[in-house]
Amino acid sequence: MNQKKFNHKKKFGQHFLLNEKIILQIVESIDYKKDSQIIEIGPGLGALTKHIVKKCNPIIIEIDSSAIELIKKNISKDITIIHGDFLKINLNPILKKKNIIIGNFPYNISTQIIFKILEHKNKIQTVIGMFQKEVSERICSSPGSKKYGITSVLVQAYYNTKILFNVDRENFFPKPKVESTVIKLTRNKTRKINCDESVFISLVKQSFNLRRKKLKNSLKSVLLNFEKIDLDLLNKRAEDLSVEEFIKLTNLITKNES
């Protein structure tokens, strides 16, 4: 396929990976088993798809009708393709017990893709994705890092994260303005965190909204019984708390409110 002749629609925010060696590296990172289902998001020209079909019959989710036509013509007309926006599609009828999500994700919606995956975390075992380098670092950062934030905590509550490799922007068409990174998320053993999940999410978001302040200041509006809560936690900043400490703080707050 001649990528430069493809009717690329900039509104979809996609950059097509051209380097075959990197494409194979991504595909080889898939831990595919017979009871797994691979779902590829935004296949574009099918750079990954043409190798994935050698493993199984994947489900493809693609918003661009011209890309779908090319995949049917050049890879397989029998491939299972859902024409639509991943962020708007109801995944419940699609997901099996064990699902692997893979994709060179459009950078403008990559964080939204991650949050939708989290909504279905108990059916999505693995995520292998190409992200803007900065977003990848936010997802995978540890406590104490300036890049550690909301996405880091919410993802790491349920997934083990790993940076696989960086990809120079020269390997794409059109060439992006940023560097890219491939990461892998693997579902951990936590089926349900040991606290009220909705309170946990709200607490994490509020804590990082004022990330430079100590938690006793950034969380004033939710600390109804300040004196009963662990001061060791409250004297820290959000970026210093581990997932486990955010869970502990959530439980302390909900207990003191009751």
3-class DSSP state for residue 136?
Answer: helix
pLDDT, tens only, 20-49: 999 999 999 999 988 999 999 999 989 999
HSE at residue 123, side-chain half, CA atoms within 13 A, is: 14
Res. 242: pLDDT tops 90: yes
3-class DSSP state for residue 186?
Answer: strand
pLDDT, tens only, 55-93: 999 999 999 999 999 999 999 999 999 999 999 999 999
Cα separation, 62 vs 70, whole angstroms: 12
The DSSP bridge partners found for residue 124 are 99
pLDDT at 256: 66
Cα separation, 256 vs 229, whole angstroms: 8
The CA dihedral of 79, 74, 87, 154, to the nearest 10 degrees, is: 90
pLDDT at 1: 44
Which domains does the chain possess? 3-187 (3.40.50.150), 197-257 (1.10.8.100)
Res. 131: pLDDT tops 70: yes
Are the beta carbons of 79 and 51 closer than 8 angstroms? no
3-12, 72-81, 168-177: range with lowest mean pLDDT: 3-12
Res. 228: pLDDT tops 60: yes
